[in-house]
Amino acid sequence: MTSDKKFIVAITGASGTIYAIRLLKNLLEGPNHVILIISDGGIRVLEHETIFTCDSSMQDFLALEGTRFHSRSSLEIFSQHNFSAGPASGSFIHNGMVIAPCSMKTLSAVASGFADNLLTRSADVCLKEKRPLILLPRETPLNLIHLENMTKACRAGATIMPPCPSFYSFPQTVEALADSVVARILDHLGVQNNLVKRWSNL
């Protein structure tokens, strides 16, 4: 029996790619198989907010970010255009999907079932198969359309987790701030972590 798990992480074209990077780092440091789906907009934002370039290897980029890959971890990367990838099918078994960050365009597609690419199709599959789907919506302020789309996605089974860092543990770095959000994601995925001090331990 193996404890290895399989997760999908998706990056869309909203600011906040640090959340995906820190999530990938923590998942790949455990015995997990991670499938990464990056939208076209997500690639552009990733290049703008980090040292990643289209010529970079994601493995090398994550290593530069300090990731110590577990001997049983693995990473597969797909563009939004690859409809033949496993996550597009309900017969592909995994332990949950996280869209971090989640643009309002992607939120709208998920809420309305508009599965026009691998990323939104994978999310749609999560909902129909009753698998965990966590959305980190990145926008402020929110208009009524945004709020209604979040409500629709939540009613369909998604977890809406706005990336709101906590401050009660007195984070000293931007990474520590991001990790206070990543810790909550990992909790909802059932992945043990010690990224932040628990409230009862303060």
Q: DSSP E strands: which ranges in 40-193?
A: 74-79, 97-102, 133-137, 159-160
| DSSP H or E segment with residue 38 | strand 32-38
Annotated binding-site ranges for FMN: 13-15, 39, 103-106, 138
Closest CA to 11 of 86, 74, 99: 99
* Nearby residues of 143 by Cβ (< 8 Å), 6 or more positions away: none
* Cut 0.85: pTM above it: yes
**Domain residue ranges in the chain:** 5-193
- Do the beta carbons of residue 19 and residue 100 sit within 8 Å? yes
Rounded to whole angstroms, the Cα distance separating 106 from 62 reads 25
Instruction: Look at residue 163 and tell me whether its pLDDT is greater than 80.
Output: yes
Query: What's the topology of domain 5-193?
Result: Rossmann fold (3.40.50)
Q: Which residues of 88-123 are buried (b: 16+ CB within 10 A; e: fewer)?
A: beeeeebbbbbbbbbbbebbbbbbeeebebbbbbbb
Annotated binding-site ranges for dimethylallyl phosphate: 168, 184
Q: How much is the mean pLDDT over the chain?
A: 94
Q: pLDDT for 165-191, tens place per residue?
A: 999 889 999 999 999 999 999 999 999
pLDDT (0 to 100) of residue 197: 83
Q: pLDDT for 62-102, tens place per residue?
A: 999 999 999 999 999 999 999 999 999 999 999 999 999 99
**2: confidence class by pLDDT, cuts 50, 70, 90:** very low
Annotated binding-site ranges: 13-15, 39, 103-106, 138, 168, 184
**Cα Rg of the chain (Å, integer):** 16
pLDDT (0 to 100) of residue 56: 82
Instruction: Look at residue 51 and tell me whether its pLDDT is greater than 60.
Output: yes
Segment 134-147 mean pLDDT: 97
Q: Angle formed by the axes of helices 174-189 and 17-28, to 10°?
A: 60
Instruction: Look at residue 156 and tell me whether its pLDDT is greater than 90.
Output: yes
